[in-house]
Amino acid sequence: MSLNPVEGGGRERTTQMSRFFVKNGMECTILTTDLGLTKECVKDLEGINVVALRCLNKRFYIPKFSFSKIKIIIENVDIIHLMGHWTLLNAIVYLMSRYLNKPYCICPAGSLPIFGRSQIIKRFYNWVIGRRIIQNASCHVAISENEIPYFMEYGVSLESISIIPNGVNNNEYLADDTFDFKKKLDLEDISFILFLGRLNLIKGPDLLLEAFYNIKNNLQDFHLVFAGPDDGMLSELKQMVDEYQLNDRIHFIGYLGGADKSNAYHAADLLVIPSRQEAMSIVALEAGISGTPVLLTDQCGFNVIEKIDGGKVVQASVKGIELGLIEILRDKDRLKSMGSNLKQYTYDNFTWDSVIGKYLTLFKQILEVTEPNNKLE
């Protein structure tokens, strides 16, 4: 829908896997809208053909398009990868791919459940075309095991689902100027808990804020930093901070990218992901490759973090987050050990150099079935 870096997870997966497709010798085109697209975004995708359709409606990402232009794009590719689910762009490309008999795979990235706003519109979308987009795909990519049941609710067989997790580019998280980062926030000698993501109901920042308030006396050594763009909740969260009289311990610092984001991860004592629903959190991997331990809810698709002692998994509730924070923050030496464990596990399993191989294998299998004479080199 958008290559604006503020959009987060889906955009990050799209851009990173496209870079690594090119790195592995493939040609790659990204079809998107021009919403939030800057010259810097395009420059950052050197070697990738970016086709940006003019966005006519920001709320629903409605693009201005012509079927003839879409037809030319799809005629010149071997395989299509649809990202997300609730988009008109996916529907347009789906119809053309069926017309041209081109194989496509679908990666909803956690978007299949009907959650949040516009539920009536989403049900209508599924009734008109959404379910067919999912059902008729040549392959279905889940980014974690907890996404599989949602595919099956759409009538997808277990055999057609491949798990290809989110990845992280470890070279983007080398910046480690923690002193300068903390100085900008007047936190030089203060430990802090980090939330990084959109300030949106589904991400659960309100759950974290309420939990922090309830146990503030247990966390007197810590501040709480919210880093991320406003997606409908900033005013509500600031009102909560005023009511709780926590203005001296809560910080809203807006969107972070590049070296600033890396510095934030390295500077934080703990990353908290209080999501109400999520397929697999990319920020958990970003924190992990930075050596920062993570507390996340059991709705984030990354429960393995507890098995490898890289963090803690809690219920997606205020009480669950409260108990988790008290337990994980009582021993700062163990926090460092968790961070080291998570860094090694992330490096061994979730760098894009290794994740992209799963995609290449899957694409080759699809093309061998659909076009036996077509080889993906």
Q: What is the pTM of this model?
A: 0.91
Structure tokens at 319: 């009480």
Judge whether residue 359 has pLDDT over 60.
Answer: yes
pLDDT tens digits, 106-165: 999 988 988 777 899 999 999 999 999 999 999 999 999 989 999 999 999 999 999 999
Q: What CATH architecture is 171-349?
A: 3-Layer(aba) Sandwich (3.40)
Contact in structure between 233 and 206 (CB atoms under 8 Å):
yes
Domains 5-167+352-370 and 171-349 share a fold: yes
The least confident of 195-199, 207-211, 330-334 is 330-334
Contact in structure between 356 and 24 (CB atoms under 8 Å):
yes
* Rounded distance between C-alpha atoms, residue 187 and residue 194, angstroms: 13
User: Which residue pairs, CB below 8 angstroms and at least 24 apart, start in 49-53?
Assistant: 50/3, 52/3, 53/89
Block residue for tokens 């030319």: 72
What are φ and ψ of residue 140, in 5° steps? Answer: -125, 120
Length of the chain equals 377
**Domain segments of the chain: what residues?**
5-167+352-370, 171-349
Helix (H, G, I), strand (E, B) or coil at 207: helix
Block residue for tokens 């077509």: 374
Q: Residue 289 is which amino acid? A: I
Which one has a higher pLDDT value, 300 or 314? 314
If pLDDT is split at 50, 70 and 90, which confidence band does 9 have? Answer: low
Q: Residue 342 is which amino acid? A: L
Kindly indicate whether the domain formed by 5-167+352-370 is annotated with CATH number 3.40.50.300: no
Gyration radius of the chain over CA positions: 21
